[in-house]
Structure formats: C-alpha cells, structure tokens
Amino acid sequence: MKVALLGLGLMGLPIAQRLVHCGHDVVAWNRSQERLKIARDEGLSVASSLTAAVTAGEVLILTLSDAAAIEEVLFDPSVTPLIEGKTVLQMGTISPDESRNLGIRVEAAGGDYLETPVLGSIPEARAGELIIMAAGSETAYHQTLLLLRGLGKEVEHLGPVGKGAAVKLAMNQLIVSLTAGFSQSLGLIRAQGVEVEQFMQLLRQSALYAPTFDKKLKKFMEHDYSNPNFPLRHLIKDLALFQQVAESSGINGAIANATLKVLLSGQDAGYGDEDYSSLYEAINPGFDAETDIGC
C-alpha cells in the first residue's frame, strides 16, 4: 500500500521502517527537520512538504504526540481538502472523545477513519509485535488489516470509535500502576537490606509477578534511565488523560491524581526525557546506589 506516515518520533520511525520491511511504499514527514534528516539518513523516503506526503499516500498513518499536534497537522487548511478518499489510521494516545471528534472531522472531509493505538515500544515496533487496538470503520479495518498485521501480533477490532482509545488509556494506566507499585516494594527491600535477588525469586513464583518487573529491574538497580523507549513526560500526559476520562466516567480519580503528582515531581527533578521507569527516583527520592545496603 502507499502509506504517508506523519510523525517521526520515537515510535513513528521504527513503525515506518517496519512498514518498508513489509513491502509497503512509505513516505514520511515530520514537523522537525532533525527527525526528517535521521529518517533520510536511515534510508526512508521523506516528503518535501506535508501536502506532498498526504498527496502521495492512500493511507495516512498518524504517529503524532497528542490531539493538539493532530489538529495542527491534519486540519491545516492546505491538508484537509486532500483527505478525501483516503484512510486515516490514528496510532497515538488520545482520549475517546478526542478520537470521536477526529473521526467525525475526517469523515466530513471525505476520508475513512480507524483509530489504531498501539501497545509496545521501539523493539516491538521493529519486530512487528505491537498490540493494536483498532476501532471505527470496519471498511477501513478490513482494507488495512494486512498492513496492520505487519506491525502487530494482535490486531483486535473493538467496535465503534472511542473503544480503542479507552483500552489504550487503560493499558497505559497499568504501566504506571505496575511500575509504581514495584518501585515502592523494591525501594523497601533495598532500604531494609534484603537481598534483591532473594526477593525476586519469591516474587517470580507468585501471582503478583509481572514480566515488566524484570524488564525494568536493571534500570532501577543502576539508576540509569537513558535511551528511553517511552519517556516519563509521555506517560505523564497519558495518565493525565486517563484521570480526566476516568472521572468523567464516574470513577474515583484520587489514585491517578496522587500518582500523577509523584510523576510530575520526577519530571521536575529532570527525568522528563528519561525512561518512564525513572519514576522509581520520584518514589525513592535521594536514594544513593552506593549506600544501598541491600546490594
């Protein structure tokens, strides 16, 4: 398929590369020239302008940071008339209401809309092992299913627009909860001088264990959150969205609000662009690896 991928952030670039690997004709565009240069240097075809990219693609894939970025890009006066007859796949994390509004506007412009947020990070994108939560136009779903299966091991159609966005927010809230919960427990283990591996051996045998604990353990032990697949500031944005949607749905948002404050303190401490697991430092402030009696 002829694909125009708009947004070459941490996920946009590996998704574009995976689509090329799967045989699709991909042209990429990004608002910043720096990311365009990186894409060009890595062999991707890049468009000279946003309108050139949109014109070239029969499928428009949005890998943009938030609803405001989508508004700026897709509904630029020079772009909106070009949507007619095209399929728009929206892969970012936005709220259900934002996605429904986006779908209405795409359809009004003569396009077909499918929300397709993904769970996974750079390694999963490169390997085609993302989990894709599709919702919206069944026509668009079936037309792009082969393309989506090149990106994801699971491609589930969940129903009308908004359901995919809701599932994505629920998943990202679990990222926060699991990582924050493990950070608290691990902090106590280390502070009290319990051998970390003894704790982990017991934890792995229990129903409490989640694979993400081992995935992030090395970062916690070394206090090294560089080269992020998912920066803390993006998780903060997603948790804030979750809180808003949860409260509007009648769910008590106190836990999300309290956790958000902790994450924001981590961002204030300079971890915003580091891996989201740096929230460990906000939960265990001032923890010095050299004085860790548990290691």
pLDDT in tens, the chain (295 residues): 999 999 999 999 999 999 999 999 999 999 988 999 999 999 999 998 999 999 999 999 999 999 999 999 999 999 999 999 999 999 999 999 999 999 999 999 999 999 999 999 999 999 999 999 999 999 999 999 999 999 998 798 999 999 999 999 999 999 999 999 999 999 999 999 999 999 999 999 999 999 999 999 999 999 999 999 999 999 999 999 999 999 999 999 999 999 999 999 999 999 999 999 999 999 999 665 544 544 4
Q: Where are the domains of the chain?
A: 2-160, 166-291
d(CA 131, CA 168): 10
Nearest to 294 by CA among 197, 224, 182, 176: 197
> What is the model's pLDDT at position 16?
97
> What is the model's pLDDT at position 294?
43
> What is the model's pLDDT at position 287?
63
Model-level pTM? Answer: 0.93
CATH fold of 2-160, please? Rossmann fold (3.40.50)
Residue 19, amino acid: L
Nearest to 199 by CA among 215, 216, 222, 217: 217
d(CA 220, CA 204): 17
Which residue out of 86, 168, 216, 219 is catalytically annotated? 168
- CATH architecture of the domain formed by 166-291: Orthogonal Bundle (1.10)
Active site residue 168: yes
Positive/negative CA dihedral, 53, 54, 55, 60: positive
Classify burial at 265, counting beta carbons within 10 Å of its beta carbon; exposed 0-12, middle 13-18, buried 19 or more.
Answer: middle
